[in-house]
Amino acid sequence: MTARAVDELVEALGIEVDPELLVLALTHRSFAHEAGGIPTNERLEFLGDSVLGVIVTEHLYRTHPDRAEGDLAKMRAATVSQRALSVVAREMGLGEYLLLGRGEQTTGGHDKDSILCDTLEAVIGAVYLCHGLEPTRAFVERIVGGRLTDAAGLGAGLDWKTSVQELAAERGLGAPEYRIEATGPDHQRHFTSTLMLGDQSWGVGEGSAKKIAEQRAAEQAYRALEEGTASDDVPHEA
């Protein structure tokens, strides 16, 4: 990675980061393996995930004093989910700077939700090591602030799986069952989830991860339950 690329990314981040730490944060295990077993970003990701969780949790606790613990947990999950963080990473252009092995490059690794999310957490870990908690708090609140604001008004969309489970229970329909189908090679799996209540399908969702597919199926099922129309009776959404 060139010094110019590092400078460009630092400018995009809006905060100084030690160049060596920043390159480490961008180093996916596929690249590290091909480079002879150099360190990967996984330890920084572990750190950044914890730091992010503390900052988001405290922010929600302080800004929503009247919300119950369950609501706060859902709001946090919506803010730090793989899907949400990958969107933030794309907005920052993080995918352009990833250090990936040849296999990941050829299969679109620069735009995979899982890799973008993990890398963003690693960058947060690097920022924390360079600056400590308070500057990292300002950085995190700046990059995910919009998600924190949006989370307060998401309602059922904070956690579609929990919301549809609660709605199904209210209507005496039993617990949802998710039937998963996976296609594609191991490095590029595609999942389809069908939400069943009894012997009837109420929602179908697809995604690059099982959790994403299940959440999309749950969202469709929740809306179908509210409308009283099972997905067996309407076209399935991709």
Give the tokens for residue 156. 């059922």
DSSP 8-state assignment for residue 172: T
To the query of whether residue 121 is one of the catalytic residues in this protein, the response is: yes
Q: How far is CA 161 from CA 41, 164, 186, 220, in A?
A: 31, 5, 26, 10
What backbone phi and psi angles, to 5 degrees, belong to 88? -60, -45
* Tens-digit pLDDT profile for residues 124-143: 999 999 999 999 999 999 99
Bigger pLDDT: 158 vs 27? 27
The pLDDT score that the predictor gives to residue 238 is 38
Options 104, 113, 121, 219, the catalytic residue:
121
Bigger pLDDT: 138 vs 212? 138
To the query of whether residue 49 is one of the catalytic residues in this protein, the response is: yes
- Binding site feature residues for Mg(2+): 45, 118, 121
Bigger pLDDT: 68 vs 158? 68
Name the packing angle between helices 82-91 and 133-151 (round to 10°).
Answer: 110
What backbone phi and psi angles, to 5 degrees, belong to 197? -120, 105
Bigger pLDDT: 99 vs 83? 99
- Binding site feature residues: 45, 118, 121
Delineate the domains of the chain, giving CATH numbers in brackets: 3-157 (1.10.1520.10), 159-227 (3.30.160.20)
The pLDDT score that the predictor gives to residue 230 is 58
Q: Is the pTM of this model over 0.85?
A: no
What backbone phi and psi angles, to 5 degrees, belong to 68? -70, 160
